[in-house]
Chain A
């Protein structure tokens, strides 16, 4: 067992711990911090797997943009909200049972899939394995997928317009 493998296990355990803490934490700020730690652990896993681009984007976009936005919104809202005090809804028991069933079914499928189809490391050792480092990835990305890259900017503009429309419609119904 190499140090790489140990680090992947460590980051995986941290991600699992963050996910469990999200379910049991009471205040939304703690939930956000648990989610941030989970995302950072996933970024660590990506970096250990050699997918550096995804790791960088995970930290920049998810932790840097999405979760900072979320933390700001939590700070904006009222701390004495009743949902901050009562954590769980009425479907707590069925929800947990269903989630455990889903995790079990997915786990069994993962075990059977891994035994049947996928040989670990078979694809990575195949010929012409692509490099996921930042420089070769970005060259290849902007050469092959430039149209998709431009279309994402259209999507982002549409999202901004939609957000402004939601805020404006809410103001109109208030006053």
Chain B
């Protein structure tokens, strides 16, 4: 009973972890990989899983290997990564020492009125000094969260994020500041000036004429239209790693109840080990003890199966002919 409760607790913690919610602020959660996966695996995978985890004994290790990655590394850090032109992802952690310091400084506020907040700054085309962002917006988070997907609302801009406390009086205290990231454009650039180049080594090889870096005539309108059409004619499904995700997918359709049935025929027998045996005039091999087994896919229709054995001295012979008919209603 106790074990069941433990498993349920661990399962709850796992789902919370997966949602990026911290279960307890400072605990380092250790659980075995097998337990973590139990909820998720089907029986098939579990069978494979078990086989994989049967490691041979390799000798005693002076220190046991930890079973899982640490929950955190006890440092102050927030990292931004770009997911696509509109969304960025942030993960963070705060060290125990820093939390302690903040707790002492803010005292009451820490527990009651200070809100944990991600402050997202638009720092496009500036050198950010903490005050000069074009604008910012806040996202309130709770103390158990350790990562977040942020909808920046627009493509092609630079972002920086502070993890901090927003106090009741409106003051904002930065705990830690992230790196700056740049989200890509969501369409063709508006800049159409051209710059051309030949690599140095190639230029050196060219005989006589110079190519210079001139400016060609502006791009034809028709070509721009053509390019735009190619862009927005729909995204392709990802090829990805072919061995795992087939581009030649099964077209998903409603799963109807199904049944598949087929028949096979096993023809087996025995004779002197040194006899020669033919089935339907084809010679077959005998086992050492003179027995044989043949297995055939059995289609609809009649199969006439003469089995002939001839003694090793070619003097005697026997034939038995099973006749098998299959039909399917």
A joins B in a complex: no
* B residues apposed to A, CB below 8 Å: none
